[in-house]
Structure 1
Amino acid sequence: MDAAPARRALTGAMSTPAGPTGLSERALGPDLARGFMLLFIALANSHYFVYSDRVFGGFPTDGSAPDRVVGLLISTFVDGRAFPMFGVLFGYGVAQIVRRQRESGKDWWPIRKLLWRRALVLIVLGFLHAMLLYIGDILAAYGVLLFLGVWALRWKDRWLFIVAAFVLILTSLPSEDSLATSSDAADPAMLPPHFLGQFADRIVVQPSIAGLGWIGFVTPFLIGVWAGRRRILERPAQHLTLLRTTALVGLTIAVVGALPVSLVVGGVLTRPSDHALSVLGPLHDATGVFGGFGYAALIVLIARRVGDRQGPVSLAIAAVGQRSLTCYLSQSVVWAVAFTPYLLDLSRTLTTTTTALLAVTTWLATVLLADRMRRANYRGPFELLIRRITYQPRRTAATLSRNSGNRA
């Protein structure tokens, strides 16, 4: 009699479902990277709210000299570089979930269903986020990516790299629509003039963002899955050469690849021809993928140097990473209040520089908020929501039904 099936059956019978990683068990590196990532995302989103008659690559080109300098810096170091880092960390987190579930004895089919539940939560949250707060939502796109990417989790490493390289090359091909040349602030889906009208405008745009936006995140997601399998960000001491090389080469490629566009944003170079832009735009985005890898590696190396000497600053930023979903949505509340025409309507008042300052201030506020939650040993409302639905769907459904009955 073959003992292997019996062992698997015994393991499955004795195993208990693995929940999310406890806060005390989390490695500093990935959380610190997620915390800084939200600063980059805030800066990457901020300039799209500034109204201007002349826009290039999402940046107003008729601002002051400080505005052009700030635009150059954001275009070089942040734009198209923050979201790939998000993709890497997202893929890494998915690999962590899979590893914990497999170690608890679960087979692949229950793991797929768990991840599909998580994907659906992201899609629903992303839809509500886009409708109510910010049309530039990325949660739904990541939900779609996870829903489809579940099938890649059993691929061998070489297929992860092959598909990642193929998609990167595909998205690097010339595109006539790669750089925006008109003001996003004039778009009613971005800044709706009326509360009720925003739903009619956004319901048309959001499905295309969610349905197509995930394509650009495939490459960092797959590389993140590969890195998660090897726990590279959690065990940097075992991968120092790889991390140092990735940080140096990745950030160098990202900066050099950004310069043709960022120098135009900064007013150093004149606007190239449309044909040149069809090449430079995808180049800017493709090299940004390497920047996402580089930033993740650099921050993990910094976390390694911090080691056990964690001070209040590193703990607070890591707390943001542990509550990244709540902090990300909190940013959108600020954008909605500050820039929506029927609220404060500051898109014609603030500049590229002052919106960047608002972005940094907003991030610092989330750092203070997350640190307060850390001290209270509270995960965060949206982290609790997604974990309950992902890991305890029956209990969550029963609770919702019971609460509904009590209200009735």
Structure 2
Amino acid sequence: MRGLPVADRSPAPDLARGAALLLIAVANAHTFVTHRGIGVRGYPRDLTGADAVVAAVQLTLVDGRAYPLFALLFGFGIASLAARRTAPGEPAGDAVLALVRRRGGALLAIGAAHAILLWHGDFVAAYGLIAVLLAGLLARGSTTALVTTAAGTITLLVGLYAPVALTDTPQASASPSLVTPDVLAAATDRFGEWLFGNLLLSAIGLTGAAAIGVLLARAGWLADPVRHRGALLRLAVAGITAGVLGGLPLALVAAGVWAPPTGTALLLGPLHALTGYAAGAGYAALAGLVAARWVRRGGPGSVGRSLVDTGRRSLSAYLAQSVAFVALFPAWTLGLGAGLPVWAATLCGAGVWLVTVLVATWSARTGGRGPAETLLRLLTYGRRPSPRPSIEA
């Protein structure tokens, strides 16, 4: 059982992954800002000037929108992997489910190492947990089961976001591991933050988007974007519009423009979270539209190709972001996150993403695969040689 050869892949999912990594970098960077109090969605309290503008833009377009997009692409990838190893019209067999679970176990191990060594906010382990526990659903679940799972898990997560707009505390950070100067103490804190505060919550929140990704894979919209251009256009417009309209109220609260009454404020967090799923689907559809245009033009330009190359090495690029952020921001390294402006953290995040794009482009030109992808492949398939260069979906 081998991955799909690179030449045979639709570029839309990889383009979406490459671009989504910018959103991930920007969304994560502000969480490393410390000693400024904690406000809406982990942004500092009492934002003013450029910080208020940047936070408002991120809460409207990025925050709570990037992770659903990546989870959708994860579900798409698992469904595509299963479909390539299953005869048309037949359900995925036990060997396919075992493969999905092995891949999930590998992701769980990589994510756990990432969380313990670098950053408690890891979501790779959550993907692994989903794949291990829900392999049957992702590989051969019925449409009804997928829709029910998506609706149930999204509803549960959305309800947990009710108090978000009311967050206002003078704490240095919501994550003690970022403000602890001792390396070992920070690692201990980080393990607890990940295991007891992030892993299960992330798995619940990402399951719904992963189920939606499976449905998109079965519909063939991203695999054949030219044929489904009309559907992709409708999804892109509806999803991104919903994301903007649903994110704007919380953005206004974070920027200090609006102070709603408590009853209204309790609705803003759930609204922001719910429309984040719509925005994620809309962004994926937008990538499909761009890929469809490439087909008509005869291929992507240099920027598009670099984004696709980055998407094909998304796990390595994601982990590299954490390496860079951890080297700069926590108290147990350089400690630059203390009092850092949000706009500066955002620029840093964008800069780190740009470096990963340049490295991925160089790697593609030299025929290399990302180191994390190589490890994932080794843990999933073992050391058997592959007859053709390929990168797993």
1: distance between equivalents of 2:3 and 2:251?
40
Residue of structure 2 aligned with 1:233, choices 222, 229, 251:
222
Residue of structure 1 aligned with 2:73, choices 69, 72, 89:
89
Amino acid across the alignment from 1:234: A
Q: Secondary structure at the match of 2:173?
A: helix
State whether residues 176 and 189 of structure 2, in contact with CA within 8 Å, keep that contact through their aligned partners in structure 1: yes
2: distance between equivalents of 1:107 and 1:172?
32
Determine the structure 1 residue equivalent to 2:168.
181
**Which sits farther off after the overlay, 299-308 or 286-295?**
299-308
**Deviations 1:359-389, CA, capped at 9 Å, x for gaps:** 1111100000000100011111110111122
State whether residues 40 and 164 of structure 2, in contact with CA within 8 Å, keep that contact through their aligned partners in structure 1: no
**Deviations 1:131-188, CA, capped at 9 Å, x for gaps:** 1111111111111111122121322223212322233233333655445433573632
Normalised by the length of structure 2, the TM-score is 0.90
Residue of structure 2 aligned with 1:150, choices 102, 123, 135:
135
Per-residue deviation, 1:34: 0.4
1:354 aligns to 2:335 (yes or no):
no
1: distance between equivalents of 2:305 and 2:282?
22
Amino acid across the alignment from 2:93: W
Determine the structure 2 residue equivalent to 1:304.
292
Amino acid across the alignment from 1:141: A
Amino acid across the alignment from 2:352: T
**Deviations 1:326-374, CA, capped at 9 Å, x for gaps:** 0000000111011121221111252110111001111100000000100
2: distance between equivalents of 1:106 and 1:168?
26
Per-residue deviation, 1:63: 3.9
Q: Secondary structure at the match of 1:102?
A: coil
Question: 1:4-403 alignment to 2 at 5 Å?
Answer: 17=1, 19-51=2-34, 52-103=36-87, 108-152=93-137, 153-173=139-159, 175-179=161-165, 180-182=167-169, 183=171, 185=173, 187-208=175-196, 209-270=198-259, 272-307=260-295, 308-392=298-382
1: distance between equivalents of 2:93 and 2:178?
40
Q: Secondary structure at the match of 2:86?
A: helix
Q: Secondary structure at the match of 1:137?
A: coil
2: distance between equivalents of 1:378 and 1:191?
37
Amino acid across the alignment from 1:320: T
Amino acid across the alignment from 2:30: H
**Which sits farther off after the overlay, 214-223 or 362-371?**
214-223
Amino acid across the alignment from 1:181: D
State whether residues 119 and 143 of structure 1, in contact with CA within 8 Å, keep that contact through their aligned partners in structure 2: yes
Q: Please give the root-mean-square deviation of Cα atoms over the aligned residues, in Å.
A: 2.2
Per-residue deviation, 1:125: 1.0
1: distance between equivalents of 2:75 and 2:373?
17
Q: Secondary structure at the match of 1:309?
A: coil
Change (3 A) 1:351 1:211: same
**Deviations 1:4-38, CA, capped at 9 Å, x for gaps:** xxxxxxxxxxxxx3x01222222111110000010
Q: Which runs of 5+ in 1 are unaligned?
A: 1-16, 396-408
Change (3 A) 1:325 1:184: farther
Per-residue deviation, 1:190: 3.6
Count of equivalent residues: 378
1: distance between equivalents of 2:187 and 2:116?
6
State whether residues 104 and 128 of structure 2, in contact with CA within 8 Å, keep that contact through their aligned partners in structure 1: yes
2: distance between equivalents of 1:214 and 1:54?
24
2: distance between equivalents of 1:32 and 1:78?
17
Q: Secondary structure at the match of 2:335?
A: coil
Amino acid across the alignment from 1:45: N
2: distance between equivalents of 1:284 and 1:85?
15
Q: Which runs of 5+ in 2 are unaligned?
A: 386-393
Determine the structure 1 residue equivalent to 2:391.
none
Q: Return the index of the structure with the highest Cα Rg.
A: 1
**Deviations 1:80-116, CA, capped at 9 Å, x for gaps:** 0000000110000001110112149996111111111
State whether residues 232 and 239 of structure 1, in contact with CA within 8 Å, keep that contact through their aligned partners in structure 2: yes
Identity percentage of aligned residues = 36
Determine the structure 2 residue equivalent to 1:8.
none
Normalised by the length of structure 1, the TM-score is 0.87
Q: Secondary structure at the match of 1:220?
A: helix
Amino acid across the alignment from 2:115: A
State whether residues 88 and 224 of structure 1, in contact with CA within 8 Å, keep that contact through their aligned partners in structure 2: yes
